[in-house]
Copies of this chain bind each other. A is one copy, B any other.
Amino acid sequence: MRLYYGVDLGGTTVKLGLFSGDGELLEKWEIPTRKEGNGAYVFDDIAAAILQKTEAVGGVPGDIEAVGMGLPGPLQEDGYLEVCVNIGLRDVYPAQELSKRLNHIPVRCGNDANVAALGEAWKGGGKGYGSMVLLTLGTGVGGGVVIGGEVVTGAHGIAGEIGHLPVRPEETETCNCGGRGCLEQVASATGIVREARRVLARTGQDSVLRSLHELTAKDVLDAAKAGDGLAVSVMETVANYLGLAMAQISYVVDPDVFVIGGGVSRAGEYLLDVIRPAYESRIFLTAQKADLALARLGNDAGIYGAVRLVLGI
A-side interface residues toward B, CB under 8 Å? 129-131, 133, 145, 147, 152-162, 164-166, 169, 175, 177-179, 244, 247-256, 282-286, 288-290
Contacts and interface: CB of A to CB of B under 8 A. Distances in A.
Interface of A is mostly: loop
The 9 residue pairs across chains A and B that have the minimum distance between CB atoms = A154-B254, A159-B254, A178-B284, A155-B256, A177-B284, A179-B284, A252-B252, A156-B288, A248-B248
Contacts of A253: 145, 152, 154, 159, 252-253
A165 B249 CA distance: 9
Nearest to A281: B179
A90 to B, nearest CB: 19
Contacts of A133: 252
A78 to B, nearest CB: 13
A140 to B, nearest CB: 12
Contacts of A154: 131, 250, 253-255
A169 B169 contact: yes
11 contacts: A145-B252, A155-B254, A155-B290, A157-B285, A157-B286, A161-B254, A166-B247, A175-B284, A179-B284, A248-B252, A253-B253
A147 B152 contact: yes
Contacts of A159: 251-254
A177 B158 CA distance: 29
Contacts of A165: 248, 251-252
